[in-house]
Copies of this chain bind each other. A is one copy, B any other.
């Protein structure tokens, strides 16, 4: 096993990250692009050894891990394209008006520059896509920020393998030596030390509310607070409108059952709440969903801690007033396994019990039965911020419920119609964020190319000689980036 990083080592590591920053921040988009591409190739080059190590450490199935590795390399390549193309810096140019009265206007230009060294915390449930070379690392490196990655203690050897790939990419593409550093630490002290080090300029985290909120508070308690983007999970409500239940309850049950239980429900986008209006269509749907969940066998969870938390949180949820166990896996769970579970509760009991709005991380969902649409509306009004919210309905009823959809949207970062929240597409239009407590800042995303914006800040160049301007801001636009030039978008 690996020892936790000690305070003196943190100081050395962050000092080296700062030194690397002074070099790395000037590396061109083209060279950063080659570096990110090289990381992807090096990860692919690790071949089946990486997959089997990850299987061993996370209990996730091979196909899922192969898919996740693909997503991770795809993310790296999307950021590579983004920085090669260059328009992400949001360049604005306002040229001088020397004859303006009463005061002449000077030449002013602006673009995004990297914040500085970023500390990233690997996530347990995504050993690749949200860990060592995951989206936090790739977006920070794309922005021009060196990364210090704290490996998740549940998959340290997988993390070491990926870190090795990044270090080889650094060497092969001639990046500054300490552009990426890999450290270990299971204690809160290690995390606190990294977040509070003076050279740390931003933090990326995906994980539990307790973990994310602690890092957020550490950052705010610094003499100079720094931004923390923590994605802290969500219950991801799914609203099922009556028309859809009447028309296709069987297929909805099928889709929802898969989304609840896929990879033991260990996704921050797992639908942990299903909400609908009482009646025989809902009774039928519940029965269909029950049948399906009973047949879905318990699955081994990521690690013993996750599994025991699942048992604890599930038991706590089932013990709440009015909550009934609807169905669970017929097969009994073995050690570290999580049984697929559906509970139900009336909207009346649900609305006034904040515990039932909390995430139960694992293959669990709670069916909330409302008497009327008004009661569903009332439940939405009490709902804390969510990464996602889903509405399943027939086209005509969706249009009738435009007001309701608007209300749901107030509380979520992504709204899905007739789908499931699991399966997050990596593309420019994706938003993986949401109002607190889903994340610490609803204005940023941790999936998609806009994730880079977390790690960059604008700098304004006033009256600069052409020779001293960065390429993105030079008058002839040598990089051909999209710019707002004298208030017109152009290349």
Contact = CB atoms under 8 A, between A and B. Distances in A.
A482 B487 contact: no
A459 to B, nearest CB: 6
Interface stretch (A123-131, A275-283, A427-435): A427-435
A316 interface: no
A108 B425 CA distance: 9
B106 A425 contact: yes
A487 B402 contact: no
Interface in A11-64: 26
A458 B413 contact: yes
Interface in A209-259: 216-217, 220, 224-227
Contacts of A157: none
A466 B470 CA distance: 42
A200 to B, nearest CB: 13
Contact of A465 (B217, B395, B406, B425): B395
Contacts of A216: 220, 225
Contacts of A105: 425, 427
B227 A427 contact: no
B409 A113 contact: yes
Given A445-B458, A456-B443, A399 B467 contact: yes
A384 B224 contact: yes
A217 to B, nearest CB: 8
A430 B220 contact: no
A415 interface: yes
A463 interface: yes
B224 A419 contact: no
A227 B464 CA distance: 33
Contact of A108 (B108, B429, B440): B429
B461 A415 contact: yes
The listed residue with most B CB atoms (<10 A of its CB), out of A384, A405, A468, is: A468
A454 to B, nearest CB: 8
B457 A442 contact: yes
Given A113-B409, A418-B463, A462-B415, A468 B429 contact: no
Nearest to A431: B460
A84 interface: no
Contacts of A412: 459
A416 B287 CA distance: 69
Given A398-B465, A419-B462, A468-B417, A110 B431 contact: yes
A103 interface: yes
A109 interface: yes
10 contacts: A92-B429, A106-B419, A115-B443, A224-B435, A398-B465, A398-B468, A399-B465, A415-B459, A419-B462, A450-B458
The 5 closest A-B CB pairs, nearest first, are A431-B460, A414-B460, A92-B429, A110-B429, A416-B462
Given A110-B429, A414-B459, 16 more contacts: A106-B419, A110-B428, A116-B410, A224-B385, A225-B440, A398-B465, A402-B468, A405-B468, A412-B459, A415-B459, A417-B462, A419-B463, A429-B460, A431-B460, A450-B458, A482-B489
Interface of A: 26, 67, 87, 92-94, 102-103, 105-106, 108-110, 113, 115-116, 216-217, 220, 224-227, 384-385, 395, 398-399, 402, 405-406, 409-410, 412-419, 423, 425, 427-431, 433, 435-437, 440-443, 445, 450, 453, 456-465, 467-468, 482, 484, 487, 489
